[in-house]
Amino acid sequence: MTHYVYLVRHGEQQDAEHGMPDGPLSARGRRQAALIADRLSGVPLDTVWHSPLQRAAQTAEIVAERLPAVSPQPHALLFDCVPTGMTPDTPGVFEPFFGGITEEQIEAGHAQMADAVSEFLARKPGDAHDLLITHNFVIAWLVREALQMPEWRWMTFNQANCGLTVLAQKPGRPWSLITHNDVAHLPAELRTGLPEALPY
């Protein structure tokens, strides 16, 4: 009687290093998406939701091609967003990140993530397996929320492209973090998207 939530960051975006806000997957991103599909092939997924942005939608399409029993659906609560600004507890080292982000964007992101928590981390009866294909900051916020950490701690969680994070909740218990940013299904040359290279 466990509710599982599988969190996957989209595959690598084409020309992401040139600052494109959204775009199609790169060839490497398509390979990443195929490998995460293979990794999840034995999971009895009940629902598959994805961000409407192209890079996440294409990742979901590739997953569906390899897992024909699933029917991914876009969900507006999985859009990329910035869920907080600087808080009194946020270490000063993070302040430069917020230089180009408006108060309106932060307010919208915070409201979106509050709704996402209510939608995706609400306890379901029986066994449930939900896959969310979304963005780095969204996954970071949901992990932070599941662990009941201070708001600013979302900034300390980073996910590789098509890395796998799994949350689980049994009846009467809090959420557990089963695995975070598992990239065992990705060969070293496909482990992209982190601010620092993995040491293995």
Q: Mean pLDDT by 10-residue block, N- to C-terminus, for the chain (200 residues)? A: 96 70 91 97 95 97 92 96 93 91 95 97 91 97 97 95 97 95 96 80
State the pairing for strand pair 3-9/73-74: unpaired
Half-sphere exposure of 164 (CA within 13 A, CB side): 22
b/e burial code for range 119-146 (CB count within 10 A of at least 16 → b): ebbeebeeebbbbbbbbbbbbbbbbbbb
Where exactly are the structural domains of the chain?
3-128+139-165+180-190
- Using left for φ > 0, alpha for ψ between -120 and 50, and beta otherwise, residue 94 falls in alpha
Residue-wise pLDDT for 143-198, tens only, equals: 999 999 999 999 999 999 999 999 999 998 999 999 999 999 999 999 999 887 76
CATH of domain 3-128+139-165+180-190: 3.40.50.1240
Q: What is the pLDDT of residue 125?
A: 83
pTM, 2 dp: 0.94
